């Protein structure tokens, strides 16, 4: 099949824009007339320096990232950030209490709204295990709010959060890729908006933006301590993870380790080391960064920047959800997330009624719709509408759903 014969609704790795792939194919063979492919050039040479610096500048421009935040190109995927944010923020906390002879393990407040925030919470629990039986744990992760009883089909309302006064940090996942819930834009008046104002003053806020990064503006970056996102949804191929971190949180973790009471921090996970070395402490994932740089250029030049992207994504979401709501009213299917404000625009989940899922998927396949099967842990159907999925593809899927 040719690429233009199919509509790819993959949840990630997700489709990339055709013009970007065409450019990347050329660069893979011969970067900018050097006679050398981009993956064969030194990551310390001027060509790659130009690529990574250009990517950072364009990302700052697209998302209006304030100057007091560092932008890091890290490795190990979103999963590595589950531990990196824990390790760096505990080290930061320890250094702030450097003279405290009775340093006590801090609480950490997790907002658990789906599979990915659950995994992040579990990793914090695992890394908190005391260094020896009977010793103090490194931290006390707790759940500040959760929608687990509702099977992660909605979000907490502001008064359902129970933050602790002096947590090492508060953690949430902006868009739950598997379950299909997404916080309304930061600062919105919706009852499901993340309640920044309820977080005790001075407590750092961490957000996993992996699957909604670059889908719309992030209006309250400065309310966050750290925002991170794996590339493989809206940015580029898997391999690089962007970490946006407030500069005062870039601490020397070795100094914290010497004080005791914190876990060992592998050097590759230390944000300060990455920042001091402009993300080139060790060999970076050059191909992923290169394609991401091309995507960023493309988003600015061809897609109307972040406002243009957000507008298209909103139209895509409206087209699909209205077809789904119509089909639900006829008893054909069930949309997983009922509250409109809690619905994800990137990952739309639904369940076909009447034992007809196989029939639905076969019909979809025959029409060129690909990768619609829900995550293996929850089943059902999931249509992911990342930036490279066109409004026309979404309208075609909506028509199929209406006719099913």
Tell me the catalytic residues.
Answer: 116, 208, 233
Q: Is 77 in the site for ligand PLP (CB under 6 A)?
A: yes
With a CB cutoff of 8 Å and minimum separation 6, the contacts of 93 are: 106, 168
Q: Is 74 in the site for ligand PLP (CB under 6 A)?
A: no
Q: Is 12 in the site for ligand PLP (CB under 6 A)?
A: yes
In the complex with ligand PLP, the residue whose CB is nearer, 79 or 122, is 79
In the complex with ligand PLP, the residue whose CB is nearer, 86 or 116, is 116
One of 58, 83, 84, 177 touching ligand PLP (CB under 6 A): 177
Q: How far is the CB of 324 from ligand PLP (least distance, A)?
A: 21
One of 116, 171, 183, 386 touching ligand PLP (CB under 6 A): 116
Q: Is 384 in the site for ligand PLP (CB under 6 A)?
A: no
Round the CA-based radius of gyration of the chain to a whole number and report it.
22
Distances (CA, A) of 138 to 130, 134, 171, 252, 400: 6, 12, 17, 18, 53
Distance between CA atoms of 246 and 22, rounded to whole angstroms?
36
In the complex with ligand PLP, the residue whose CB is nearer, 36 or 221, is 221
One of 78, 141, 263, 284 touching ligand PLP (CB under 6 A): 78
Which residue of this chain has its Cβ atom nearest to ligand PLP in the complex? 77
In the complex with ligand PLP, the residue whose CB is nearer, 79 or 268, is 79
CB 63 within 8 A of CB 299: no
Buried b (16+ CB within 10 A) or exposed e, 311-349: ebbeebbebbbebbeebbeeebbebbbeeebbbbbbbbb
Distance between CA atoms of 124 and 131, rounded to whole angstroms?
14
Distance between CA atoms of 239 and 252, rounded to whole angstroms?
25
Q: Is 79 in the site for ligand PLP (CB under 6 A)?
A: yes
State the residue for tokens 């993870």. Answer: 241
In the complex with ligand PLP, the residue whose CB is nearer, 231 or 397, is 231
Q: Is 14 in the site for ligand PLP (CB under 6 A)?
A: no
One of 74, 128, 146, 211 touching ligand PLP (CB under 6 A): 211
Of 182, 202, 203, 180, whose CA–CA distance to 193 is shortest?
Answer: 182
Q: Is 208 in the site for ligand PLP (CB under 6 A)?
A: yes
Q: Is 24 in the site for ligand PLP (CB under 6 A)?
A: no
Interface residues with ligand PLP (CB under 6 A)? 12, 77-79, 116, 173, 177, 208, 210-211, 230
């Amino acid at each position: 099949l040719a690429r233009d014969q199919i509509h790819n609704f993959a949840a990630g790795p997700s489709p990339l824009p055709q013009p970007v792939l065409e450019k990347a194919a050329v660069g893979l063979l011969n970067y900018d007339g050097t006679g050398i492919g981009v993956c064969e050039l030194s990551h310390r040479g001027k060509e790659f320096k130009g690529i990574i610096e250009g990517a950072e500048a364009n990302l700052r421009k697209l998302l209006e990232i304030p100057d007091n935040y560092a932008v890091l190109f890290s490795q190990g995927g979103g999963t590595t950030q589950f531990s990196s944010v824990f390790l760096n923020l505990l080290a930061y906390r320890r250094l702030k209490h450097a003279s405290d002879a009775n340093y006590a393990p801090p609480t950490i407040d997790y907002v658990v709204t789906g599979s990915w925030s659950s995994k992040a919470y579990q990793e914090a629990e695992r890394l908190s295990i005391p260094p020896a039986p009977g010793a103090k744990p490194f931290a006390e992760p707790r759940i500040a709010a959760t929608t687990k009883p509702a099977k992660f089909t909605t979000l907490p309302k502001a008064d359902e959060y129970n933050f602790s006064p002096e947590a090492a940090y508060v953690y949430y996942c902006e868009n739950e890729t598997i379950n299909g819930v997404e916080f309304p834009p930061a600062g919105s008046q919706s009852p499901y908006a993340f309640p920044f104002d309820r977080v005790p003053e001075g407590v750092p806020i961490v957000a996993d933006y992996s699957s909604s990064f670059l889908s719309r503006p992030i209006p309250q970056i400065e309310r966050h301590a750290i925002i991170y996102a794996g590339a493989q949804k809206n940015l580029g191929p898997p391999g690089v993870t962007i970490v946006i971190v407030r500069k005062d949180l870039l601490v020397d973790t070795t100094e914290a380790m010497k004080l005791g009471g914190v876990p060992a921090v592998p050097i590759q996970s230390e944000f300060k080391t990455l920042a001091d070395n402009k993300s080139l402490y060790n060999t970076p994932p050059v191909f992923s960064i290169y394609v991401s740089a091309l995507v960023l250029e493309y988003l600015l030049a061809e897609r109307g920047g972040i406002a243009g992207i957000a507008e298209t994504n909103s139209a895509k979401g409206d087209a699909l959800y209205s077809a789904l709501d119509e089909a639900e009213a006829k008893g054909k299917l069930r949309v997983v997330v009922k509250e409109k404000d809690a619905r994800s625009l990137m990952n739309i989940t639904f369940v076909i009624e009447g034992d007809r899922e196989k029939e639905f998927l076969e019909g979809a396949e025959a029409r060129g719709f690909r990768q619609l099967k829900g995550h293996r842990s929850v089943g059902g159907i999931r249509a992911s509408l990342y930036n490279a999925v066109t409004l026309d593809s979404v309208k075609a899927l909506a028509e199929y759903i209406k006719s099913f």
